[in-house]
Amino acid sequence: MAKKMHLRSSEWFGGKDKMGFVHRSWLRNQGYPDDYFQGKPVIGICNTWSELTPCNGHLRDFAEVVKKGILEAGGFPMEFPVMSLGETLMRPTTMLFRNLASMDVEESIRANPLDGIVLLTGCDKTTPSTVMGACSVDLPTIVVPGGPMLSGRFRGEKIGSGSMNWMIKEKQNLEGYTAADFTEAEVCVARSIGHCNTMGTASTMATMVEALGLTLPGFSSIPAADSRKKLFAQLSGRRIVEMVREDLKLSKILTRKAFENAIVTNAAVGGSTNLIIHLTAIAGRIGVDLKLEDFDVVGSRVPLLVNLKPSGKYLMEDFFYAGGLPVVLKELEKRLHPNTMTVNGKRLTENYSQAVCYDRDVIACLEKPFQEESGIAVLKGNLCENGAVIKPSAASKELMKHKGKAVVFESMEDYHQRIDSPNLEIDKDSVIVLKGVGPKGYPGMPEVGNVDLPKKIILQGVTDMVRISDGRMSGTAAGTVILHVSPESTVGGTLALVQNGDTIELDVEKRKLHLDISEEELKKRKSVWKSPEPMADRGYVKIYIDHVEQADKGADLDFLVGGSGSKVERDLH
Ligand code: FES
């Protein structure tokens, strides 16, 4: 029997004074009867719907379904909009605004008469930004992931949304694709409502929140267009009302063990490197100590269990039909902390004990994985004193141990200007070094680390080279790409000092990334290095540049780390 509790919202609606009158009265214009203000848990539906975020374009509909569930369970639903981050349209990069959106979520929740929260998420940053903001308040919270698109087909070939982008240059150069071909492909790739349908960042984030225990079991892998998605949305609406009555807050679910479960799961599904930066930031908000090294220690020896793009060949729809994340979590039973709490009030592994796999070509068993070791390798060395990362499952085996001469680009603009120049001295063994794409430098750490190879190398039939940068990589991309180099070049990390022709050694097995020049030479270069002018001198971007932390710490703003709880603020009087 759920216990009766004091509701936070009663601080607004329970008052018999002038302010109680004000708080209730204006809401009456929407037709709410008396009983709505007499002890019903008020549930905020935090909606990242926006026409500018195509991946979340269906979330207005979903909010209505969630509302039904909340009403059925005796709650009072209140939908509110927050800043939405659409990956395909926002410039210079959505990552610049993740922390801003999280502030919007946090303050919107705390300032309003809310007892529980439903987060409607989809496109990449809409999941971490909302979860980060909610963590800093720490109310009972459930996530409704918007779901992936259905699989697209182009001329008989299955195409992953996102992954196709990275093949465009190759298709032009090697298969003679024309503009008309691309127009035709455009409409085939984005097949239905939903977010990217590979195990890119959006699917990784949805998987992450389920593994953390923040969604109903099995919710994250259901395609957006599948009727079961709405069913789960409605059930989530019902469940959040109970969670408020049980006082099942985020901090009771998001323990250190839950974060470790998310890391293990991410490795098994071949998830995006972006998980590192977002999970670290979420941990920082809820007060869990998570270090970059933890991703390697906890996750790097986990076998790859799914055959999904970009590491494999299938798409999220296939994953769902094969049994989806529940099968993976069941397979991982012995590798996970079994007793972490989840939003339905049950322990993690208890939720998945009955999962059945329907296609072993899509989801392997633990005894016969697609790859023995997956996850993220964290590299250290004089080129990345605070670390850098690589996703071995998306990299080329033959390049995992490599020595090559640096070909340096000082910025993205420099890269675009020279990469296809016939005079560029580069061969397949060179190491492409890209500077100025870190958190402060770009600013916002865009997903550019997997820069295209030069045309002349592609024409030799080469499909991968070692690339190093302080930026990120899209979860839909692949390649031997070293990312998140910290400290970044803009703050004077060693990356800033690399020059054309320097030898760089990569040894993923030994977790080593080394710039082969003497200490004296490094010191000499450092002494003449000048920090670049900041990219903004006003507004939010200036705040961001002044306060953003380095990649190894999750690139949150330093003053946002932690939380301020759900304490009801003083009234407006
Ligand atoms: Fe939104 Fe890929 S662009 S998830």
Burial class, 492, CB count within 10 angstroms (exposed 0-12 / middle 13-18 / buried 19+): middle
Two tokens at 239? 């469940």
- Which pLDDT tens digit goes with each residue over 248-258? 999 999 999 99
Q: Is the CB of 470 under 6 A from ligand 1?
A: no
- Which pLDDT tens digit goes with each residue over 167-196? 776 777 778 888 888 888 888 888 899 999
Q: Kind of pairing, strands 431-434 and 384-390?
A: unpaired
Strand order across the 141-145 sheet: 76-81, 42-47, 116-121, 141-145
Residue nearest to atom 2 of ligand 1 (CA): 196
Closest CA relative to residue 514, chosen from 358, 357, 403, 415? 403
- Give the phi and the psi of residue 327 in degrees, each rounded to 5: -65, -45
Residue 166 reports pLDDT greater than 90: no
- Which pLDDT tens digit goes with each residue over 372-409? 988 899 999 999 999 999 998 889 999 999 999 999 99
For ligand 1, the distance from its centroid to the CA atom of residue 162, given in whole angstroms, is 7
Q: Is the CB of 202 under 6 A from ligand 1?
A: yes
Q: Which residues pair with 44 in a beta bridge?
A: 78, 117
CB atoms within 10 A of CB 289: 9
Cα 553 to Cα 187, 431, 487: the distances in Å are 39, 26, 11
Q: Which of 56, 124, 163, 166 to mutate to test the pocket of ligand 1 (most atoms within 8 A of CB)?
A: 124
Q: Is the CB of 199 under 6 A from ligand 1?
A: no
**Considering all CA atoms of the chain, what is the largest pairwise distance in Å, rounded to the nearest integer?**
79
Q: Which is the closest atom of ligand 1 to the Cα of 124?
A: 4
Q: Is the CB of 195 under 6 A from ligand 1?
A: yes
Beta-strand ranges (E) seen in 198-312 are none
Residue nearest to atom 1 of ligand 1 (CA): 123
- Whether 118 and 66 have beta carbons less than 8 Å apart is answered as yes
For ligand 1, the distance from its centroid to the CA atom of residue 439, given in whole angstroms, is 20
pLDDT of residue 2: 47
Q: Which is the closest atom of ligand 1 to the Cα of 202?
A: 4
Find the helix or strand (DSSP H, E) in which 87 lies.
none
Cα 550 to Cα 142, 170, 265, 557: the distances in Å are 29, 33, 25, 9
Report the C-alpha gap between 47 and 31 in whole angstroms: 22
Q: Which is the closest atom of ligand 1 to the Cα of 474?
A: 2
Residue 422 reports pLDDT greater than 90: yes
For ligand 1, the distance from its centroid to the CA atom of residue 446, given in whole angstroms, is 14
Q: What average pLDDT does range 435-456 have in this prediction?
A: 96
Two tokens at 501? 């022709």
Q: Is the CB of 124 under 6 A from ligand 1?
A: yes
For ligand 1, the distance from its centroid to the CA atom of residue 473, given in whole angstroms, is 13
For ligand 1, the distance from its centroid to the CA atom of residue 207, given in whole angstroms, is 15
Closest CA relative to residue 230, chosen from 395, 438, 65, 354? 65
Report the C-alpha gap between 157 and 23 in whole angstroms: 57
Q: Which is the closest atom of ligand 1 to the Cα of 195?
A: 4
Which residues have a Cβ under 8 Å from the Cβ of 302 and sit 6 or more positions away? 264, 267, 268, 332, 335, 373, 374, 375
What residue ranges define each of the domains in the chain, with the CATH number in brackets? 40-150+192-352 (no CATH), 377-537+543-551 (3.50.30.80)
If you write DSSP's letter for every residue of 160-191 in order, what string do you get?
-TTHHHHHHHHHHHHH---HHHHHHHHHHHS-
- Whether 485 and 469 have beta carbons less than 8 Å apart is answered as yes
Q: C-alpha 383: how far from its chain's center?
A: 26
Q: Which of 30-34, 125-129, 427-431, 566-570 has the lowest mean pLDDT?
A: 566-570
Q: Is the CB of 165 under 6 A from ligand 1?
A: no
